[in-house]
Structure formats: C-alpha cells, structure tokens
Amino acid sequence: MAEPNILLTRIDNRLIHGQVGVTWVNHLGANLILVANDQVAEDPVQQNLMDMVVPDTIQTRFFSIQKTIDIIHKASPRQKIFIVVKDPHDALKLVKGGVPIKKINIGNMHYEEGKKQIAPTVSVDEEDIKAFKELAKLGVELDLRRVPDEKGQNILDLIK
C-alpha cells in the first residue's frame, strides 16, 4: 500500500482559520485539509464554520484521531494532505498509531493557566513538553512558525 501524501501536519488550537485555510494551503499546494480532532469530528457546527474559511477548490475532512489512524493509508496518491491537530498530544497519538508524519509545524498553542509562553503564539506545560520530546525521539521534525515565510525554529531549542 502506498504511503499517504502528507505534506505537513500543523498544531494549531484554532484548527482551521484564515492562516491555515488560505496561507498554508497555498504555500503547501494542498488539496485536502484533514482536521484530526475527536470533538470537532462530532460537531457539524464547528465543521461548517471552518469550511467557510477554506476555498471551494480545497476539500476538508473532520475525523477523530482513531478514524484518521484507521483510514489515512487508504488516501489516494492524488490527495495532497495537510493535517491539522489541536495539540501535541493528538499529534503523538497519530504518530504512535502509524500515521507517517515526518514534520510538524507548531503554529498556535494559546496561553492558559499553568502554561509558560515560549514564543509569541505558543505556550506549553510539562505534558506538552513531554509530548514534543517523544515526537522528536520518534524522528519527527518540530518546526515552530506562524506563517510559511517566517524563519522556523526547532521547538526543542525553546523548551530545554
């Protein structure tokens, strides 16, 4: 079975918004945005709101983490897939489940109580740091940047 054509995986707790639906999609040349998130997979209202941001030429799918793991290998080679997840824990579940993710873009993780800000749009706690370190051990490149033309940084350099 051929490996799915995953162009990039992005961690963004907003999931699909203008930056993802237009800027990143155009930069990558993606024709499919796959949101892997258990809550959104069950919420048609959120799905519809996210679909409004995406050009009509781009397909969207809203799958649970498990469904993504189960069917990603059935993707057509014509599908140029951009996966979006809410946090590093979901990304780690995908990788451990066999989704062939080689690079993760960390774009947005809002500050909340108990998290420390490590970049203008990224805040982490100890559990997030553990997940990032485990992803790195599994061979995943971790690139922190908001938009494609920004210079990326390895998140591990910021969380040591």
To which residue do tokens 């960390």 refer? Answer: 106
Question: pTM to 2 decimals?
Answer: 0.96
CA 43/CA 45 separation, integer angstroms? 6
To which residue do tokens 């706690």 refer? Answer: 125
For 87-134, write each residue's pLDDT tens digit: 999 999 999 999 999 999 999 999 999 999 999 999 999 999 999 999
Token pair in block for residue 4? 């799915």
**Domains in the chain: boundaries:** 6-159
Token pair in block for residue 29? 């040349």
Burial degree of 55 (CB within 10 A; 0-12, 13-18, 19+): exposed
What per-residue confidence (pLDDT) applies to 2? 73
What per-residue confidence (pLDDT) applies to 1? 58
Mean pLDDT, rounded, for 3-17: 95
To which residue do tokens 């996210």 refer? Answer: 50
What per-residue confidence (pLDDT) applies to 65? 98
CATH code assigned to 6-159: 3.40.35.10
Using the 8-state DSSP alphabet, how is residue 109 labeled? B
Q: DSSP characters for 53-79? A: TS-TTSEEEEE-HHHHHHHGGG--TT-
Catalytic residue numbers? 17
For 40-71, write each residue's pLDDT tens digit: 999 999 999 999 999 999 999 999 999 999 99
Instruction: Give, to the nearest 10 degrees, the angle between helix 88-96 and helix 126-137.
Output: 30
CA 69/CA 63 separation, integer angstroms? 9
Closest CA to 122 of 84, 158, 82: 158
